Amino acid sequence: MLKRVVVVTGIPGTGKTTVCNVAVKLAEQTGKKINVVNYGSIMVEISQKRDKSLHRDALRKSGLAFQRNLQARAARIISKKAVAVNGDLIVDTHMSIKTASGYWAGLPFHVLQLLNPDMFVLVEAEPHEILSRRHKDKSRKRDKVLEDEIMEEILFSRLMAAACAVLTGASIKMVDNPTGKQAEAAREVLKLLV
Amino acid sequence: MLKRVVVVTGIPGTGKTTVCNVAVKLAEQTGKKINVVNYGSIMVEISQKRDKSLHRDALRKSGLAFQRNLQARAARIISKKAVAVNGDLIVDTHMSIKTASGYWAGLPFHVLQLLNPDMFVLVEAEPHEILSRRHKDKSRKRDKVLEDEIMEEILFSRLMAAACAVLTGASIKMVDNPTGKQAEAAREVLKLLV
Amino acid sequence: MLKRVVVVTGIPGTGKTTVCNVAVKLAEQTGKKINVVNYGSIMVEISQKRDKSLHRDALRKSGLAFQRNLQARAARIISKKAVAVNGDLIVDTHMSIKTASGYWAGLPFHVLQLLNPDMFVLVEAEPHEILSRRHKDKSRKRDKVLEDEIMEEILFSRLMAAACAVLTGASIKMVDNPTGKQAEAAREVLKLLV
């Protein structure tokens, strides 16, 4: 049985987690088992466990070193999971993370070496749809500046995905997820796992 | 004598192979020897030899592992060739390969480490010219959607080339190859090898 | 005390060096020590020292090997400096360098491994402002072709920055530096070092 690691990414508002969950359900309907793990949730779990037994040494480390360590631990847990489960494993995570201090790679090289992914999926959507999903409750206007910012986020995800593809040899598939078409998007992901 | 490895790439329809061949001929006219090897052809050769003595182990491997292995063997053969030949070696290959399962890196990191290239050339052309070269025989209309797809292919080649440049320290030169100007494009490649 | 390595880059005409120097002065006013080192100057210094005792072996090496060696030596000096100084170190350098032979990575992988940066800053500006700064003395017209070339340079800096971010796990912050707003740009850099 093939045990591929498929990394599914998307900026906030693209609906990547929904696509992942719909893909699992659709696969089940055809008697196929697909597993999903959320990278961020694993990091939170580790972080909480660590809080109880936090060493002073860890505290002295810079923020980046701490983050790297946490990312690496999560990657090791996920790669063990990939071996343990029956069937393919979808890793629900981010390719690029926009913060006040800039763009961060969700999958830096040291993580890629541990995860050993077979393919990358970039769930994408139109900027105006992403904005509307991010600000569901607010009737805010969607201006050009905000849409340009979203386009920049999408661009950086693609840029980092290209670097990930060169580093690992894994493929990059962009999957469009327009409103109301989650099932179609999920089926596109499943087609990669035939 | 300098024995540089120049990786010449281009998406289908850019005319990269023609540019390579014209470059070799133009170089010969000035008494200079330039060698060309086609990465894909070497992969096919290895693949055909292997078919005869195919081990069960190889078959059990996943598609990606098999592909990686084939790519690495081709890279080793080419890097030996680069040492054996007199003069520079042009490697005719793809930077990014578009398939139904997404974009693949033609030169993943493990291949770059074996090839050790000195420069990357991206042969490019206008989207409408690429479309017309791809569908020579059909009088199909060239619509916006198709041109956008070509522009995405060109973009991913550039994205992956940037990653290759950072990984290796080699340079990236974009060479435009408009219809009827193959000699000019070839001369641009030769200028890199002065 | 935190000793972060912040790599500040920008294509010629973005005013990155001014931004670095203003940042140091503004930091001093608040009693904070920030150090700056110019990567290119270190390379020139090494190159001049070497000229006196140049070995034949070095001469026989290809240009790329020589350049790699020089880059690595500079990176080692800078990483020692990062440990020796009090406070953070700004490395003033280029992400991507445009030459007649194409784009070169200012921070290839082997350099990144030595520098071990915590963040990358891309100082950017509008193409027409960059053109005007590059050609201060000439009353040349700023045509579309030149602006497109500048946009391509900015693009390649971003592409290479994304690869650097994936390789190192460090963040990428784009800082806009419009004419007359160097202090604001410098403050944005300082905000990253809080």
Question: For residue C127, how many C-alpha atoms fall within 13 Å in the half-sphere facing its CB?
Answer: 14
Nearest CA in chain C to B193: C101
Task: Give whole-number Cα distances, B55 to A173, B49, B73, C157, in Å.
Answer: 31, 12, 16, 46
Chains contacting B (3+ CB pairs below 8 angstroms): A, C
Does C158 sit within 8 Å of A160, measured CB to CB? no
The angle subtended at Cα B142 by Cα B139 and Cα B146, nearest 5°, is 130
What digits encode the pLDDT tens for the residues C32-83?
999 999 999 999 898 888 665 555 444 444 567 787 889 999 999 999 999 9
Residues 6+ away with beta carbon under 8 Å from B169: C64, C67, C68, C71, C104, C105, C108, C109, C110
Interface test with A, best of C118, C166, C191, C194 (most A CBs within 10 A): C166
Does C71 sit within 8 Å of B171, measured CB to CB? no
Question: Which stretches of chain A sit within 8 Å of chain C by CB?
Answer: 62, 64, 67-68, 71, 96, 99-105, 107-110, 112, 155-156, 159-160, 162-164, 166-167
The answer to whether C192 and C27 have CB atoms below 8 angstroms apart is no
Looking at residue A65, its pLDDT comes to: 76
Calpha distance B61→B179 (Å, rounded): 43
Torsion of CA A8, A12, A16, A22, to 10 degrees: 150
Residue C144 CB neighbour total at 10 angstroms = 8
Chain A residues close to B112, C-beta within 8 Å: 166
Chains contacting A (3+ CB pairs below 8 angstroms): B, C
The radius of gyration of chain A from alpha carbons, rounded to an integer in Å, stands at 17
Looking at residue A51, its pLDDT comes to: 63
H helix intervals, chain B: 16-29, 39-52, 56-60, 63-84, 109-115, 127-134, 144-168, 182-191
Does A67 sit within 8 Å of C173, measured CB to CB? no
Q: How confident is the model at residue B1 (pLDDT cuts 50, 70, 90)?
A: low
What burial class does residue A12 get, using C-beta atoms within 10 Å of its C-beta: 0-12 exposed, 13-18 middle, 19+ buried?
middle
Looking at residue B141, its pLDDT comes to: 53
Chain C residues close to B2, C-beta within 8 Å: 62
Looking at residue C60, its pLDDT comes to: 41
Calpha distance B30→B110 (Å, rounded): 36
pTM over 0.80: yes
Percent of chain C, pLDDT > 90?
A: 76
What digits encode the pLDDT tens for the residues A39-81?
999 998 988 886 655 554 444 444 677 778 899 999 999 999 9
Residues 6+ away with beta carbon under 8 Å from C38: C17, C92, C93
In the block, tokens 């972060």 appear at C4
Domains recognised in chain A with CATH numbers: 5-191 (3.40.50.300)
pLDDT at B142 over 60: no
Angle formed by the axes of helices C182-191 and C16-29, nearest 10°: 70
The H or E element containing residue A92 is strand A88-93
What digits encode the pLDDT tens for the residues A137-191?
555 555 788 999 999 999 999 999 999 999 999 999 999 999 999 999 999 999 9
3-class DSSP assignment, residue A28? helix
Q: Supply C153's token pair.
A: 């340079």
Residues 6+ away with beta carbon under 8 Å from C33: C27, C85, C86, C87
Percent of chain B, pLDDT > 90?
A: 77
3-class DSSP assignment, residue A142? coil
